[in-house]
Amino acid sequence: MNKITLHKGKEKAAWQLHPWIFSGAIKNVDGSPANGAIVKVFNIDKEFIAYGVYNAHSRVAVRLLEWSQQHPVDDGWWRNRVQRAIELRTHLLTDQNDTVRLIFAEADFLPGLIVDKYGDFLSVQVHSSGIETVKTIIVEELVKLLQPKGIYERSDLNARQHEGLSDTNGLLYGEMPSEFVEVIENGIRYQINIVEGQKSGFYCDQRDNRSLTAHYVKDKRVLDCFCYSGGFTLNAFQAGASSVVSVDSSALAIETLHKNMALNGFDTTILTAVQADVNKYLRQLREEEEKFDVIILDPPKYAPSRSALDKAARAYKDLNRRALLLLESGGLLATFSCSGAMDIDTFKQVIAWAALDAGKEIQFIRQFNQPEDHPIRASFPEGEYLKGLLVRVV
């Protein structure tokens, strides 16, 4: 087996079970490992550290998998990891919820692999050359364990470019998902587009937060920004909101929202669905002197890396300032960031700056997190990406 030797002093994080070895930490590569090949990693004193997957194209040159030398990474190892990840989530699948993240990359010791269950179908994303190499094994195990109607791959991600991989979308097993697949979450039914929808088709990472936010909307006028297919909107209607204005720049999102409203039998006369740029629309609402009781901001990732954090902080501040201007005393803002580079303390500071610029005094009354099917490994804090705050205007 090919061997990787680390520079002196570069092994500390690996000993502490962090799964990434950066290219600059490598002293020697013995052999000629192909991208996606399993390698053994040693320190300068020739002590075994872990097995990992090698990729010469990536800044993360080795993704560590297994720290016990007695457990080599073979086909059985991959199958066991898939089995364990699914076992830990079976309790989340109920008659009120059939959409769950089954595998969450590094958190499940399967770096570069995302698997989401949407009703009878699975959506797969492959980010790394290591997973690409064993994709057939992964699919076989998923079929064996879950017997899905179909497995569709949505590997059209920037991360693949860094691994030397081209984008690939297509059917991996079974039947092709129809244009809209019906799922249920929090007792609410959704028609989602696996093939053409954003990311893997649906944002199941907001499941708990949608339910928590709904506790505050009864008889309230709600503004749901970046509504996508209506997760927060539909939970608000289920909880008794008096009206909801839902905004997204995507025509497909607005179309899907209308389908989901009809699917659940909600009163469409108290929904205003707007296809628009959210920032521009917030300015328009301000000019029209509109006010809301509850506003939800669930924007896309503004900070894909730490180098983008300063620019992202300004964007988050401006967005939240515009929303706060539409709230009176007692109004609530549920605001989120899915940027892993922004920690919760920084996010709180950004919201505080937004409130100051808006001339609002605020209180933080609840903190939101990602759900248990998106766990955070203690040795890999980078897996914590979703955070949110419930803010009350005083």
What gap in Å lies between CA 231 and CA 213, rounded to an integer?
11
For 284, the 3-state DSSP assignment is helix
| pLDDT tens per residue, range 234-261 | 999 999 999 999 999 999 889 989 999 9
DSSP string of 293-349? EEEEE----S-SSGGGHHHHHHHHHHHHHHHHTTEEEEEEEEEEE--TTS-HHHHHH
Q: How confident is residue 307, by pLDDT bands cut at 50, 70 and 90?
A: confident
Name the residue type at position 292: F
Name the residue with higher pLDDT: 127 or 200. 127
* 201 pLDDT above the threshold of 70: no
For 239, the 3-state DSSP assignment is coil
Q: How confident is residue 199, by pLDDT bands cut at 50, 70 and 90?
A: low
Q: State the chain's mean pLDDT as an integer.
A: 95
Candidates 204, 225, 227, 338; catalytic one: 338
* Helix (H) or strand (E) segment spanning residue 262: helix 251-264
What gap in Å lies between CA 41 and CA 304, rounded to an integer?
29
Q: What average pLDDT does range 168-180 have in this prediction?
A: 94
Beta-carbon contacts of 12 under 8 Å, excluding residues fewer than 6 positions away, are none
What gap in Å lies between CA 60 and CA 39, rounded to an integer?
14
Closest CA to 372 of 90, 141, 183, 145: 90
| Predicted pLDDT of residue 161 | 82
For the chain, what is the radius of gyration of the CA atoms? 23
For 269, the 3-state DSSP assignment is helix
What 362-366 contacts at long range (C-beta under 8 Å, 24+ apart), as own/partner pairs, is: 362/324, 362/333, 362/391, 362/392, 362/393, 362/394, 363/391, 363/392, 363/394, 364/389, 364/390, 364/391, 365/390, 365/391, 365/392, 366/212, 366/390
Q: What average pLDDT does range 343-365 have in this prediction?
A: 97
Name the residue with higher pLDDT: 272 or 303. 272
Q: What average pLDDT does range 53-80 have in this prediction?
A: 96
* Helix (H) or strand (E) segment spanning residue 275: strand 271-275
Q: How confident is residue 366, by pLDDT bands cut at 50, 70 and 90?
A: very high
Name the residue with higher pLDDT: 272 or 157. 272
Alpha-helix residue ranges (DSSP H) falling in 96-167: 129-133, 135-146, 158-162
| Predicted pLDDT of residue 159 | 77
The reply to whether 225 belongs to the active site is no
β-pairing verdict for 121-126 and 113-118: antiparallel
Q: How confident is residue 200, by pLDDT bands cut at 50, 70 and 90?
A: low
* Bridge partners, 22 (sequence order): 60
| pLDDT tens per residue, range 292-302 | 999 999 998 88
* 207 pLDDT above the threshold of 80: yes
**DSSP assigned state of 132:** H
Q: How confident is residue 124, by pLDDT bands cut at 50, 70 and 90?
A: very high
| Predicted pLDDT of residue 178 | 93
* 148 pLDDT above the threshold of 70: yes
